[in-house]
Amino acid sequence: MTRFQSAATLAALLTTTLMPAQAAVTLTQIAPASWGASDAALGLSGTAVIEDFEDVTLVNGLQITSSGSSNGSYGPTGTLPRTFDPRPSALGGDDPYGNAFWSYPCGTGACSSLWDGSHALINTGTNGVAPYGGSTWADITLDMAGGATQVGFSLQQNEYAISVSINGALYGSLPAGGGTRTGYFRFDVSGGAPITQIRLDGHPGDAWVIDHLAITAAVPEPGALALALAGLAVVGSAVRRQRAR
């Protein structure tokens, strides 16, 4: 084995050693009665970054993919195709088909799918409303560069359970909401690898809206970071010696 091969082997071993173990993820559901509650009441970290979908530009490091819809797809992208205002068109919103995302079932904006602000994310291939029913409703994937130790979002209107995959592995499901507010869902990582991806696979034909997406970025532990830097220094030194010879 050459010195260069030894350096490459050392790099591979270092990468394997520093690879985080599979994360233990806990899911907490906050009941619809707490709709619009403060971040502190939701148990969100003080360092959480909030994506409120008030414009098309997503927070740094977040990309969204919409797939499986008959009316198009987008992503992964950090820029949404458009914003979505859940109010009926008659009230100046983006929904010409009814009031499913604004005032159902109570008849007023108090039942809105909005957690805050005036816009949210809807599961279509355009981030715009579509005729209720049919095959226009999409699956949504959230990708977080660098990973996150906590992710939370509100969910409204899903009539059926939504399958959840985390980092490519099936995790479980979010409960059916019966077409009204389902609640706020918070994923917390305890040890292991951070969450880099959450995929939400809905029932065919089932529409839903999420809002107030909270992301707490993962921060490398000081010990792991120091070990990584030391290991890279060793690998670099070995490569330099090989080149000198």
Indicate whether 166 belongs to any domain. yes
Indicate whether 98 belongs to any domain. yes
Integer Rg of the chain from CA: 22
In this model, does residue 242 exceed pLDDT 70?
Answer: no
Q: Please write the tens of the pLDDT for every residue from 15-24.
A: 333 334 456 9
Q: Please write the tens of the pLDDT for every residue from 50-107.
A: 999 999 999 999 999 999 999 899 999 999 999 999 999 999 999 999 999 999 999 9
Residue 111's CATH number: 2.60.120.430
In this model, does residue 109 exceed pLDDT 60?
Answer: yes
* Dihedral angle over CA of 205, 206, 211, 215, nearest 10: -90
pLDDT recorded at residue 133: 81
2-6, 54-58, 107-111: the lowest-pLDDT one: 2-6
Amino acid at 176: A
Indicate whether 126 belongs to any domain. yes
CA–CA separation, 118 vs 127, rounded Å? 14
pLDDT recorded at residue 243: 57
DSSP state letters, 116-150? SSS-BEESBSSSS---SSTT-B-EEEEEEEEEEEE
Indicate whether 61 belongs to any domain. yes
Residue 89 is part of which domain span? 35-220
pTM of the model: 0.82
Indicate whether 13 belongs to any domain. no
Indicate whether 28 belongs to any domain. no
Indicate whether 226 belongs to any domain. no
Q: At what angle are helices 222-244 and 3-18 packed, to 10 degrees? A: 170
Q: How many domains does the chain have?
A: 1
202: left (phi over 0), alpha (psi -120 to 50) or beta: beta
pLDDT grade, residue 237 (50/70/90)? Answer: low
Q: Please write the tens of the pLDDT for every residue from 115-174.
A: 999 999 999 999 999 999 888 899 999 999 999 999 999 999 999 999 999 999 999 999
Indicate whether 141 belongs to any domain. yes
